[in-house]
């Protein structure tokens, strides 16, 4: 009798997930079936799902988006009809999905183990089930399933008082780092100054990079204000990689304040962004931090940002990777002067910060570390169902 498939069911399939799912499929002997839908046509996340090819079976599910993108409904039985009953359903942990509870019930009825994968908390406040109904709901779902795959160790730690240790697995959130490491190694055969010369960047400038959507929550205004402070000290350049509704306002501010060497590069594929990241000294991200940390560290770029305001989570769990004073700096203050001082501190010891960031990425953020956690959770859930 052939082994039953493993389903991964999620709202979307971002391109950065493909290397992880491909490696996981290899570990599972080709049994992974990925079942995802598409974002609304007007969503700012549409760019994440373009031009994808898969080396695993894929089932296209229909997404219903309600109240903009605040509530999500996804019929899932199409996957069960196409591939039969799975051994395990791995699904994203999201309180926005009103179909998630029904999926967990249905999977159990079909004899499947269940694994929730995510960060299990709001990005706007601390996790506290005693105070917040949404946290109690998330915890109730986590208790229902056989295993939880957590984005970081910190996420597992905030669940540990409420759940047995044996059902908590850390799948350290990352992207296709193998490709980024290869790009870094190829560029490292040249000097940083040679790469800067090819890009038209001054060899003696402090080169700051920003990478992400140009939206207010990314701190785009504060980015330019901080850069203005740095320009008062020394020659500097700012590389802005990304697109979004704030670009026009950013260009206007740059012109109005006569900021030199601000390069709006637009959204770049990884291979085109690589030389710019290699040539830079610091990744300056004044707003919300996420997987851009992984991208920066892959090129030895220390990250400077703001520490979360008191009582507010502010960043995605990956902020744990920024070990302040070692792989980057998290400013205690919220203003441009505070961020500029953090940038100056990193620039004064850039070689050490850079080496630490690159070492952290190669030691902890490889694809296999994430897949280890996912595979462990899946195999544990399989065993738990088999034991009943």
Domain residue ranges of the chain, discontinuous segments joined by + = 6-174+366-386, 177-364
Give the three-class secondary structure for 317: helix
Question: Distance between CA atoms of 15 and 39, rounded to whole angstroms?
Answer: 13
139 neighbors 164 (Cβ within 8 angstroms): no
Give me the count of residues in the chain: 388
Residue-level pLDDT at 167: 97
Predicted confidence (pLDDT) at residue 142 exceeds the cutoff of 80: yes
Strands (E), 111-212: 113-118, 147-150, 168-170, 206-211
Could you tell me how far CA 383 lies from the centroid of its own chain?
Answer: 30
**Do residues 224 and 253 lie in contact, with contact meaning Cβ atoms separated by under 8 Å?**
yes
CA dist., res. 208 & res. 64, Å (int): 40
Strand partners, 115: 90, 147
Torsion of CA 303, 314, 48, 145, to 10 degrees: 120
Residue 49's pLDDT is what?
A: 54
CA angle 8, 11, 14 (to 5 degrees): 85
Residues 278, 128: Cα–Cα separation, whole Å:
40
Instruction: Determine the average pLDDT of the residues in 242-250.
Output: 96
Cα 296-298-301 angle, rounded to 5 deg = 40
Q: For residue 138, what pLDDT band results from cuts at 50, 70 and 90?
A: very high
54 — pLDDT class (breaks 50, 70, 90): confident
296-325 mean pLDDT: 89
In sequence order, the β-bridge partners of residue 206 are 236
Q: Look up residue 248 and give its two tokens.
A: 């026009």
CA 182-177-30 angle, to 5 degrees, is 110
Q: 């695993």: which residue's tokens?
A: 56
Give the pLDDT confidence score for residue 91 in this predicted structure: 98
Over 80: is that where the pLDDT of 295 sits? yes
Predicted local confidence at residue 116, as pLDDT: 98
Report the distance separating Cα 91 and Cα 107, nearest Å. 11
* Class for the domain spanning 177-364: alpha beta
Token pair recorded at residue 150: 């957590």
Q: Give SS3 for 132.
A: coil
**55 Cβ contact list (under 8 Å, min separation 6):** 22, 25
- How many angstroms separate the CA atoms of 210 and 288, rounded? 12
Q: Return the CATH fold of 6-174+366-386.
A: Rossmann fold (3.40.50)
Query: What average pLDDT does range 136-146 have in this prediction?
Result: 96
Residue 253 — pLDDT band, cuts 50, 70, 90?
very high
pLDDT of residue 334: 86
**Side-chain-facing half-sphere of 39: CA atoms under 13 Å:** 16
3-state class of 220 per DSSP?
A: helix
Whole-model pTM: value is: 0.92
List CB contacts of 258: < 8 A, sequence separation 6 or more: none
**How large is the average pLDDT for residues 270-290?**
96
pLDDT tens profile 229-238: 999 999 999 9
Higher pLDDT, 128 or 59: 59
Common-topology check for domains 6-174+366-386 and 177-364: yes
304 phi, psi to nearest 5 deg: -115, 130
- Is residue 107 within 8 A of residue 9, CB to CB? The reply is no
What is the reported pLDDT for 26? 97
The more confidently predicted of residues 130 and 341 is 341
């Amino acid at each position: 009798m052939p082994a039953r498939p493993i389903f991964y069911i999620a709202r979307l399939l971002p391109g950065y997930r493909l290397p992880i799912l491909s490696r996981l499929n290899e570990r599972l002997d080709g049994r992974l079936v990925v079942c995802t839908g598409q974002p609304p046509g007007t969503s700012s996340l549409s760019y994440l799902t373009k031009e994808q090819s898969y080396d695993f079976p894929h089932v296209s599910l229909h997404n219903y988006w309600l109240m903009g993108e605040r509530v999500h409904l996804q019929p899932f039985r199409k996957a069960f009809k196409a591939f039969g009953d799975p051994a395990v359903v791995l699904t994203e942990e999201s309180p926005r999905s009103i179909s998630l509870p029904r999926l967990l019930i249905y999977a159990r009825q079909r004899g499947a183990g269940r694994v929730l994968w995510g960060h299990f908390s709001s990005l706007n406040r601390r996790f506290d089930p005693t105070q917040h109904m949404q946290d109690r709901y998330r915890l109730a779902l986590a208790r229902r399933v056989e295993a939880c795959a957590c984005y970081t160790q910190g996420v597992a730690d905030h669940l540990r008082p409420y759940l047995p240790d044996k059902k908590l697995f850390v799948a350290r959130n990352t992207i296709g780092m193998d490709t980024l490491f290869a790009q870094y190694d190829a560029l490292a055969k040249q000097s940083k100054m040679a790469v800067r010369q090819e890009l038209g960047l001054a060899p003696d400038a402090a080169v700051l990079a920003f990478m992400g959507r140009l939206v207010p929550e990314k701190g785009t205004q504060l980015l330019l204000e901080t850069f203005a402070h740095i320009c008062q000290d020394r020659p500097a350049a700012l590389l802005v990689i990304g697109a979004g509704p704030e670009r026009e306002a950013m260009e206007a501010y740059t012109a109005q304040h006569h900021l030199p060497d601000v390069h709006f590069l637009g959204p770049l594929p990884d291979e085109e962004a690589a030389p710019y990241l290699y040539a830079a000294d610091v990744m300056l991200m004044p707003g919300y931090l996420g997987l851009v940390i992984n991208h920066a560290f892959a090129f030895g770029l220390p990250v400077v940002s703001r520490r979360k305001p008191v009582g507010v989570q502010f960043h995605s769990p990956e902020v744990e990777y920024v070990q302040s004073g070692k792989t980057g700096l998290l400013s205690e203050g919220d203003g441009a002067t505070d961020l500029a001082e953090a940038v100056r501190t990193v620039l004064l010891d850039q070689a050490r910060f850079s080496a630490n960031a690159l070492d952290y990425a190669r030691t902890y953020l490889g694809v296999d570390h994430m897949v280890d956690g996912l595979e462990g959770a899946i195999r544990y859930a399989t065993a738990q169902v088999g034991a009943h």
